[in-house]
Chain A
Amino acid sequence: MNRYQNAVIVSTKKLAEGIFQTVLSAEEIAKASLPGQFVCVYSDDGAHLLPRPISICDTDVAEGTIRLVYRVVGFGTDELSKKPAGATAKILGPIGTGYESVKEGEEKPLRIVIGGGIGIPPMLLLAKEWSKAGYEVHAVLGYRNNELFLLEDLSKYAKCHIATDDGSVGTHGTVIDAIAAEGLLDGDAASRAVLAACGPMPMLRGIAKLAEEKDIPAYISLEERMACGVGACLGCIVKSREVDAHSHVKNKRICTEGPVFAVKDLCL
């Protein structure tokens, strides 16, 4: 398939302060996408050269569309959020390995997806897939405030638990606090669970610590500044515990070996 293409924008809407959802017509990408994978979105402006890596939030294979939910943080995301329906955006995807790489704990029936802020979107497609596969899926979602974007979608596939920074909804605190407050890993739950998380690095370190303490298989999706998006420039690496087969040093490429990694393989 041709991974680099001009995709037509079907719709864009604001979901919360600074958070936008853009649906793009990209039939082949929709068909090929796995939970955890992402696309690179290119600016039309010749002075902004680097692609913006954005996780695939959801796909609609029948409609041939992909849904991106992103925070506007700079020129590229601002440009994307302002494009009208019918306009096009150059995109490359799907990129990276997805959660299909989850092998350790494959047999475990309890799946807890954890999203913090703009780490929530990729958890939707994952919750959908895992729910379809018959797992018992819980979603632990960390928001800044009561702007609970994607909660309605996630509720279709997972039992949702909320943490907010301002305490306006659910547990006042982090997703780690919410896991404890709701007793999600109490009793024999820990031995039946697999964790999947995406969010800011302090949150991911917290998840890694929790997984280690309770001996739970845990997977995380990482993001990093990227230049090529195809594994050539070595801009987006993460330190690994063992020497990586491609790099022959303790670096893994987030765009190629990731963005989904088993926590135990990384030095976070």
Chain B
Amino acid sequence: MNMSVNFAGVNLKNPVLTASGTFGSGMEYSEFVDLNKLGGVVTKGVAITPWEGNPTPRVAETTGGMLNAIGLQNPGLDVFLQRDLPFLQQFDTKIVVNVCGHSEEEYVKAVERLADSCADLLEINISCPNVKEGGIAFGTNASKIEEITRAVKRVAKQPVIMKLSPNVTDITEMALAAQNGGADAVSLINTITGMKIDINRRTFALANKTGGLSGPAIKPVAVRMVYQVAQKVQIPILGMGGIACAEDAIEFLMAGATAVSVGTANFHNPYITESIVAGIEAYMKRNHVEDIEELIGCVR
């Protein structure tokens, strides 16, 4: 039985990765999860310099999900390269470095600095709803996506995944723009912009007023978008959005994702990523699936 997939030229031992921002750089969750069992670890977004992030409260629970407005707090690339990457390198798993920036120049500089690192893949975050410049402003504009993709690809030595925002009218346009810019893959969906009001304090639940909605509540939206994009692009898709069990992950694969990322579910159960891998394996056995490739995009 084969669970490995070829994702943009990189062989993943299974299609289960973590979602950026929910898993740190793997260190905190290594107490619970054997990182060697995962297809890959997608790190929290990192920029060329440290970012402070947003004021608190930064998170709020919603029915079937949560809102976050962390604001891409990160220690900067120097620390990341010295501390976080060497930690991940000890494990037999692929390393996907999520990159953020305030401008095209910052993305390019970060990708340049990562060129000779042990990162296996780069995920470019052009879709964070919680930072003004860089995040959402780029991710909702097709020509900007194409331009940034091209600029990043010029200097990248690893395959480049462009992470797309669902906060657009037609996500397939954004995916096609990334493909035209030379992206090796796309990942979707980032969080959906939302708001919660604390009726007792008569104010916003988050200091940032709005935040990104994640968790099972957004899964049907994500599956729909992965399906739509899969019908339009030739490059592979890293699918995510509310995956909380193996069955959810299999839905994404069938909709056309080559691999999946698990995010918010880690907060409810720190062991979840490993159990999703085991659950997919059990499904394959039960249904006599010899090769996981049979499942990818099987629903048209």
A residues neighboring B (CB under 8 Å): 3-4, 42, 46-51, 90, 92, 224-238, 246-251, 256
**A250 to B268 Cα, complex, angstroms:** 28
Are A233 and B268 in contact (CB-based, < 8 A)?
no
CB neighbours (8 Å) of B73 from chain A are 234, 237, 247, 249, 251
Are B267 and A237 in contact (CB-based, < 8 A)?
no
**A48 to B73 Cα, complex, angstroms:** 25
Are B64 and A237 in contact (CB-based, < 8 A)?
no
For the residues of A in contact with B, the DSSP-based class is loop
CB neighbours (8 Å) of B23 from chain A are 232
Which residue of B51, B79, B215 is within 8 Å of A49 (Cβ)?
Answer: B215
Please name 30 pairs of A and B residues whose Cβ atoms are closer than 8 Å in the assembled complex, sorted by A.
A4-B32, A4-B270, A42-B268, A42-B269, A46-B216, A46-B244, A47-B63, A49-B64, A49-B65, A49-B66, A49-B216, A50-B59, A50-B61, A50-B267, A51-B267, A225-B57, A225-B58, A227-B66, A232-B266, A233-B22, A233-B68, A234-B58, A237-B56, A237-B58, A237-B73, A247-B75, A248-B76, A248-B79, A249-B51, A249-B73
CB neighbours (8 Å) of B57 from chain A are 224-225
B residues neighboring A (CB under 8 Å): 21-24, 28-29, 31-32, 44, 50-53, 56-61, 63-66, 68, 70, 73, 75-76, 79, 215-216, 244, 264-271
Q: Which residue of B lies closest to A3 (CB)?
A: B31
Q: How far is the CB of A113 from chain B (nearest CB, A)?
A: 25
Closest 6 CB pairs of A and B: A232-B24, A248-B75, A235-B59, A232-B28, A49-B268, A230-B28
CB neighbours (8 Å) of B270 from chain A are 4, 92, 228, 230
Are A248 and B70 in contact (CB-based, < 8 A)?
no
CB neighbours (8 Å) of A227 from chain B are 22, 59, 66, 68, 264, 267
Q: How far is the CB of B31 from chain A (nearest CB, A)?
A: 7
Are B29 and A237 in contact (CB-based, < 8 A)?
no
Q: How far is the CB of B186 from chain A (nearest CB, A)?
A: 24
Are B61 and A233 in contact (CB-based, < 8 A)?
no
Q: Which residue of B lies closest to A47 (CB)?
A: B64
Which residue of B52, B66, B215, B244 is within 8 Å of A250 (Cβ)?
Answer: B52
Q: How far is the CB of B26 from chain A (nearest CB, A)?
A: 9
CB neighbours (8 Å) of A232 from chain B are 22-24, 28-29, 44, 266
**A50 to B244 Cα, complex, angstroms:** 13
**A46 to B31 Cα, complex, angstroms:** 23
For the residues of B in contact with A, the DSSP-based class is loop
**A180 to B267 Cα, complex, angstroms:** 43
Q: Which residue of A lies closest to B216 (CB)?
A: A46
Residue with the greatest number of chain A CB neighbours at <10 A, chosen from B29, B52, B268:
B268
CB neighbours (8 Å) of B265 from chain A are 49
CB neighbours (8 Å) of A230 from chain B are 28-29, 31, 270
Q: Which residue of B lies closest to A256 (CB)?
A: B28
CB neighbours (8 Å) of A247 from chain B are 50, 73, 75
Beyond A49-B215, A50-B66, A232-B22, whether A237 also contacts B53 by CB under 8 A is: yes
CB neighbours (8 Å) of A226 from chain B are 59
**A162 to B63 Cα, complex, angstroms:** 39
Q: How far is the CB of B229 from chain A (nearest CB, A)?
A: 26
**A218 to B219 Cα, complex, angstroms:** 46
Beyond A225-B56, A232-B23, A237-B73, whether A49 also contacts B264 by CB under 8 A is: yes
**A113 to B77 Cα, complex, angstroms:** 42
Are A249 and B75 in contact (CB-based, < 8 A)?
yes
User: Apart from A47-B216, A49-B215, what are 18 other A-B pairs with CB-CB below 8 Å?
Assistant: A4-B32, A46-B216, A47-B63, A50-B59, A92-B270, A227-B264, A228-B266, A228-B270, A231-B24, A231-B28, A232-B22, A232-B44, A233-B68, A234-B53, A236-B58, A237-B73, A249-B53, A251-B73
Beyond A49-B66, A49-B215, A49-B264, whether A236 also contacts B31 by CB under 8 A is: no
Beyond A47-B64, A227-B267, whether A235 also contacts B58 by CB under 8 A is: yes
CB neighbours (8 Å) of B32 from chain A are 4
CB neighbours (8 Å) of B53 from chain A are 234, 237, 249, 251
**A38 to B266 Cα, complex, angstroms:** 19
Residue with the greatest number of chain B CB neighbours at <10 A, chosen from A4, A90, A228, A251:
A228
**A233 to B214 Cα, complex, angstroms:** 13
**A49 to B50 Cα, complex, angstroms:** 30
CB neighbours (8 Å) of A42 from chain B are 268-269
Are B52 and A225 in contact (CB-based, < 8 A)?
no
